Structure 1
Amino acid sequence: MSETIETGAGTARVTWHRAADARLLLAVSHGAGGGIGARDLVALAGTLPAHGVSVALVEQPWRVAGKKVAPAPKTLDVGWRGVWPTLAAQGLPVISGGRSAGARVACRTAVELGAAAVLALSFPLHPPGRPEKSRAAELLGAGVPTLVVQGGNDPFGRPEEFPAGSYELIEVPGGDHGFAVPKRGPLGQDEAVKIVTDGVVGWAASLG
């Protein structure tokens, strides 16, 4: 089921995947170069409801409007804030999540919006080839329990590049920014996605 929500940045859309007996809600948005059809988002929406976690896949207004280029971070934050009252109205603790640019939004707004935790998928620690342009402060400043799921070969930041912090990090060996793995690598694509879903299921259970 999908519904549209008016925000200060335009019309957003939420697609619901509800658990029969939910104890948590994971609200998760896409990155700057893709939509909610990303393999990890689809897998989480298909897996988590059986574990008591409802999933809301959130499409930012720019994506709903059919634009190909994401707006500035501040505008992304406005869109996320506009969706939040609908998420909070479900009466469940809300995990604020996103992949890539969406993960940055989740980290920046978590405390302000009252998120129970943050799920950062493929956190873009820096632009490819520009490690000096670090965004670590956003991750370290999330202020709530945080899980990072990162591909081992992500050009936006490999796991070993991440600074020490109170967050947890799960590595998808050989995975790129979209968690795709080499065809001749030690890990099959289905196995790589299962690392993501199993990791999030276990972490969500630890949130109580």
Structure 2
Amino acid sequence: MRIETSAGPAEIELDQLRKPAFLLLLTHGSGGGVDAKDLLIVRDSALRLGGAVARVVQPYRVAGRRAPGSVVIQDQAWLEIVAHLRGRKRIPVIQGGRSNGARVACRTAVAARARGVLALSFPLHPPGKPEKSRREELLAAGSIEVVVINGASDPFGIPDPADAAEVRVIPGQSHAFRAGFDLIADTVTPWLARWC
């Protein structure tokens, strides 16, 4: 499915049941795609619980760029995507993503009226530059519950547990998960089940 936004078209991979319990929107990191294994594990967990899942390829990636560009433009396009997918449904909307997608999900959570945010590999700061913290983006979700899942050796840092409802650290993993998918599923499944 394609959705036109003010930043250009976005592409959506939608897995939907007839009467879903919730809608989960997931998006990718800066140079990645929606077929990252951690996103697929989360999708599968949500589908097993009766949710609908939209994996969103943001407009900058559809256009072939690796970097998202302006935060304002990226967030506005995301909110347009959420509004389109939500339509008139009155089901809970949960949003999330990996890396840059986690940042978008946190920054827009309040405006999107999300019930929860899942932040996979939230990049707390650029590698080697902890003084350039993105903590405020994580906190932008306000009272909306944020669950963070990061690798123990992520060079982008690991958020403080006090800044999220839950911070799950996957041992032996960096920014891109190569293992620990069972721990991701074990974290996400009971959290998503709250909206069933």
TM-score scaled to structure 2, two decimals?
A: 0.92
- 1:93-146 alpha-carbon deviations (Å, 9 max, x no partner): 110111111111111111112111111111010000000000111112212011
Distance (Å, rounded) in 2 between the aligned partners of 1:63 and 1:170: 28
Higher relative contact order by CA 8 Å / sep ≥ 6: 1 or 2?
Answer: 2
Give the superposition deviation at 1:33: 1.8
Q: Show structure 2 runs of 5+ residues with no match.
A: none
- 1:33-89 CA distances to partner (integer Å, 9 max, x unpaired)? 211121111222233211122211001001112223322222211220120112212
Q: Which residue of 1 aligns with 2:153?
A: 153
Structure 1 counterpart SS, 2:162: coil
Q: 5 Å matches for 1:45-84?
A: 45-84=43-82
Q: Is the 8 A contact 2:148 2:164 kept in 1?
A: no
Q: Give, in angstroms, the shift of residue 17 of structure 1.
A: 1.5
SS in structure 1 of the partner of residue 163 of structure 2: coil
Structure 1 equivalent of residue 100 of structure 2 = 101
Which secondary structure does the structure 2 equivalent of 1:164 belong to? helix
Runs in 1 of length 4+ with deviation above 6 angstroms?
Answer: none
Specify the alignment match of 2:141 in structure 1.
142
Q: Deviations over 1:3-46 (max 9, x none)?
A: 10010110001111224552111101101021112111122223
Are positions 1:133 and 2:132 aligned together? yes
> What is the number of equivalent residue pairs in this alignment?
194
Shift of 1:198: 2.1
AA matched with 1:197: A
Whole-Å separation in 2 of the counterparts to 1:39 and 1:207: 23
> In 2, Cα distance between the equivalents of 1:148 and 1:193?
14
Task: Please list every run of 5 or more consecutive structure 1 residues that lacks an aligned counterpart in the other structure.
Answer: 181-188
RMSD of Structure 2 on Structure 1 (CA): 1.6
Q: Deviations over 1:162-205 (max 9, x none)?
A: 2623521111111111112xxxxxxxx2xx11111221111111
Contact 1:125 1:162 in 2 (8 A): no
Instruction: Assess if the C-alpha contact under 8 Å between 1:47 and 1:197 holds in 2.
Output: yes
Distance (Å, rounded) in 1 between the aligned partners of 2:161 and 2:182 = 25
Matched-pair contact (CA < 8 Å) for 1:4–1:13 = yes
The aligned counterpart of 1:185 is none
Residue 6 of structure 1 aligns with which residue?
4
